[in-house]
Amino acid sequence: MPFLALILIILASGAAVFFMPDFEYTFYALIAVAVISVGLLTVWSFVPYLRWRNTTYVLTSHRLTIGTGVLSTSVDDIPMAKVVAVSADQTLTERLFGCGTLVVESAGDSGRITLRDIPRIQEVRTELFRAIDEAADGEPSEPGGR
């Protein structure tokens, strides 16, 4: 979605500059278009990208650890023994980019956690199921990343 916002904002600001009539305050109107475009790009593209880029997932046979935050950080741990369901969803656009949404339901306090824009979603889902199986069998596994 931030990528789509980036494209739409660039197209809209380009059209505004191209079709702007020549009048007494054209320079100020161009500056206003630039300021609005940069503001929208910051809110709808840059900030979501930074959040996504600064989110980490660590998967072991004992837990799934999710770290989020740009200026301040937050870490959530889900014990593998408490995971009861895992589902993966992909829209057509997400399939084209190879990402998706992973929903992990646990029996503990965490409840349901939705992880959006996960790269290589099917590989991550497979690794998560493998870790759940290993946690049930008691076998250790190697930590995984993103």
The pLDDT, as a whole number, for residue 133 is: 87
Strand partners of residue 115: 102
Confidence of residue 26 (pLDDT cuts 50, 70, 90): very high
What is the DSSP code (8-state) at residue 24? T
The pLDDT, as a whole number, for residue 24 is: 94
**Mean pLDDT, range 31-53, rounded to an integer:** 94
**How many C-beta atoms surround the C-beta of residue 125 within 10 A?**
17
Domains of the chain: 2-52 (no CATH), 56-137 (2.30.29.30)
pLDDT 10s digits, 107-137: 876 688 888 889 899 899 999 988 888 888 7
